[in-house]
Structure 1
Amino acid sequence: MGFVTPKTMSLFSHIRIAADSSEWAISRSDPATAFGAAAPTISAICNTSCRMQTRKLQGITMKQAMEQAMKKALLIDAHQHYPGFANGKLNKTMAAVIKEEMALLGYEVMQTVIEDGYDIDAEVQKHVDADVIILQSPVYWFATPWIYKKYVDEVFTAGLVQQRLLVSDGRTRDDPSKQYGSGGKMQGKKYMLSLTWNAPEEAFGDARQFLFEGRSVDDVFVSNTANYKFCGADVLPSFSCHDVVKQADIEGDIARLRGHLTAAI
């Protein structure tokens, strides 16, 4: 992909490009200027295309890549620091991979690090703006750290009060056919979990295993994903780094996460 065709240039004429703190519109009347101004974006798109071809993925067109470039992703980092026990290095690494990969896929990435603090109304707005929401979290005692539960209680309650993420539980006294959980306003949005576990992969999906008795990671975390489904979002298959204490495979996990994001998103 070492040249720009007239068809490709016509696509560039329909987008606005932001660089540093300035913004300009690309005009059909000056394609040479447009090409020069668009060089960083063209390069990013080329890099994305090459990554996709390397992974032997099919079915995405330049037009679809351009359309994706207008979308936004919200990355929520739920790590909670425990000195000497959970320093968060792996979680930060995986969050950085998600941020990089989503940018390569054409998304503007917003990020919230819960432990650094947050503004509740701003988080509601991020959820309204986001097309994809990804939670990166360690698993502490078979759930996310408690600061994430606090975050959800505050942000989703505000989203209900403001009628921005949902309007009700979906039911009405006048229409008993309406089901519980159908009152959300996040239709068309996607939510994905990315987790780091001490539990090995073989502990899941096998009825012979003592603890989970055949349940998948998605089964175990249904109370987490239900928040977003309750609000109307589509829940994507989760991603997990397994056995990170005894048999960590960070490079392998990073490669799998990249592939998972491209396939799922």
Structure 2
Amino acid sequence: MTVITSEAAKTAGDWRGADLGTRTVAYTERDAILYALAVGAKATELDLVFEDQLRVLPTFALTLAQWAPDALGSAGAFDTSTALHGSQELKVLAPLPRSGEVTLKASVGEVWDKGAAAVFEVKVECEYFVATWSLFAPGAGGFGGERGPSRPAEPTGEPSLTGVLTTAKNQTAMYRLLGDKHHIHIDPEAAARINQPRPIMHGLCTLAASTLELARVAGVHPADLVSLEGRFAAAIHPGESPSIVAWGTPDDLAFQVTKGDQVAISGARVSFSAH
């Protein structure tokens, strides 16, 4: 695997397989607790918010690895002002320790050619998890590559679980302290520039918060999550209470997050291990 600099890359497809480096990231119990609170853990859920009983939420991994997609954008692979976080995957290999250091290796996976846009996959691997970002980059397509897989079919039939994702008005203000400080999540003027009436929720915050609520209604522990994926289809604003609808059983739940008739997270699946 070789490092490709922005000067050497001629098309989006040239970034396939590029090495984005290795980084060791340290965190404390305080960081893990702050994360749990930021994605909606309750003060009464002591094993998420109390260091004496702490189980680290598996989705905390995504904040530890956020540097990797940022590194690809900074290297010049795409226009960071127009690129969007299209979808996310997480596979859990082992529980994260309460605190410590994690060495993360990042690379570019597939780069799909959608014609008017390219989709970059950024993969981050370590002994605890594998996380994959899909980044939608307008204007970077047309390089003659494969289109990639189509979107999965949405589930049909009567849902087996339903819930409500209650978001806090200050939720993005808290979540951005974990590292993703993009202005659209805090500054009304920045949100207006992307045609939003006010700051929007981080997609990863909404996705992780959904797994907490699904775990509650399914009667399982959110720290028993073993896999997760979802596509970001529409914005959620802090203080809103979108619906969660799920099909299946806790070991394999397909779900959607919707507000009104608009799907905000689509093509989503989560699995929890049985204990």
Report which of the two structures shows the higher radius of gyration computed on alpha carbons.
1
- Structure with higher helix content: 1
Q: TM-score, normalised by structure 1?
A: 0.24
- Structure with higher strand content: 2
Q: TM-score, normalised by structure 2?
A: 0.24
